[in-house]
Amino acid sequence: MSDVVTITGIAAGGEGVGRLADGRAVFVPSTAPGDRVRLKDGSLALYRKFGRAVLGAVEGAGPARVTAPCPHYSQDRCGGCQLQHLGYEAQLAAKRAIVGDALRRIGKLDLPDPEVVEAVEEESEEQPAPDPQVEARRMAALSFIRRFGDPVLKTKAPPVDRFDDTLRNQVGRMAGLMADALGVGLAAPQLGISQRVFVYRVGRDAPVLALVNPEVEWTSDDEEPFEEGCLSIPGVNVDVERPIHVRVRALDEEGEERLVEASGLEARVIQHEIDHLDGVLILDRTTKEQRREAIRALREAERGEQAA
Ligand SMILES: [Zn+2]
């Protein structure tokens, strides 16, 4: 059986990073977060060797200076993140040069080209019908979430100034609704609460994090387009171009400071949620054509709902 790996981040050398079932990181050149990649039969050992060589090259440059604790993996599971959370531009540039050198040397490993799996086809073939209980919880959660067209979604939210039980309860409720809705992020304005707070979770086993009054401190010059959806715009996916790396200073629900350095999917989710706090939606960030097409699809869906 061939191995399918989902790419979740970008390493300092520019290659995609995914995680194997046994938790080890695998580095796959020419891939981007969200790609599902089928590694050719028998090539896994080569990819692992490649990954070890990349890690070795980075470690050879001195200990990876991780400036903030990795926010979503415990220390013993942080193999891939070590690369993803390097953050600062200068560090990245230095690491890239070193990794680039190593990659040229590794070139003679003769890695087979990864085959990117068509995610949509794959899912319709392999995904079992949704569990009716899960689906019922998802629909219930979605009924609490404000939809496109609600003015609260277009409003810039004011900062939180009280870190009390009300805020902590609200964060707990948001985390529950996000999980039930099968979302990866949920911002307070999506529940009609105009406040600068959101919750997110990237990866099924990662803890839910709450960021309050977040400030984007730095974004990378490197940007990439990627398809995004939104719980407030169900059924719509559009391409959004965003920086690949981001550094954000925020508070948690206890009022404690938090510095988050994120890459790939996590960076994208954080930027999507901060947009919600500023009254910005994915339709404001995509091309005119995709926006027009999405709005037409939404109107049609609405007509269908009214007729039903
Ligand atoms: Zn959204």
The confidence score (pLDDT) of residue 242 equals 95
d(CA 73, ligand 1 centre) in Å:
24
184 shares a domain with 113: no
274 shares a domain with 190: yes
d(CA 106, ligand 1 centre) in Å:
41
d(CA 238, ligand 1 centre) in Å:
12
15 catalytic? Reply is no
Q: Which of 15, 253, 261, 273 is catalytic?
A: 273
11 shares a domain with 28: yes
d(CA 49, ligand 1 centre) in Å:
39
Mean pLDDT for the chain overall: 78
Domain boundary among 79, 100, 119: 119
37 shares a domain with 138: no
Domain boundary among 72, 94, 119: 119
168 shares a domain with 107: no
Number of domains in the chain: 2
Task: Please write the tens of the pLDDT for every residue from 13-24.
Answer: 566 777 666 656
Task: Please write the tens of the pLDDT for every residue from 130-147.
Answer: 778 888 999 999 999 999
What is the rounded CA–CA span in Å between residue 36 and residue 264? Answer: 14
Q: Token pair for residue 25?
A: 């990181």
Buried-state track 126-163, b at ≥16 Cβ within 10 A, e below 16: eeeeeeeeeeebbeebbebbbebeeebbeeebeebeee
142 shares a domain with 77: no
Q: What is the dihedral of CA 119, 6, 207, 158, to 10 degrees?
A: -60
What is the rounded CA–CA span in Å between residue 28 and residue 11? Answer: 10
The domain spanning residue 242 has which CATH number? Answer: 3.90.45.10
110 shares a domain with 30: yes
Full residue range of the structural domain in which residue 164 is found: 128-307
Task: Please write the tens of the pLDDT for every residue from 286-296.
Answer: 999 999 999 99
d(CA 276, ligand 1 centre) in Å:
7
Quote helix, strand, coil % in the chain, to nearest 5. Answer: 40, 20, 40
The confidence score (pLDDT) of residue 220 equals 94
295 shares a domain with 183: yes
Task: Please write the tens of the pLDDT for every residue from 201-255.
Answer: 987 778 899 999 999 999 999 998 999 999 999 889 999 999 999 999 999 999 9
What is the rounded CA–CA span in Å between residue 57 and residue 52? Answer: 8
163 shares a domain with 45: no
Task: Please write the tens of the pLDDT for every residue from 164-185.
Answer: 999 999 999 999 999 999 899 9
176 shares a domain with 155: yes
Is the pTM for the entire model greater than 0.85? no
Domain boundary among 81, 97, 119: 119
The confidence score (pLDDT) of residue 31 equals 73
86 shares a domain with 134: no
The confidence score (pLDDT) of residue 110 equals 60
The confidence score (pLDDT) of residue 98 equals 62
201 shares a domain with 113: no
Query: Are the C-beta atoms of 294 and 236 separated by less than 8 Å?
Result: yes
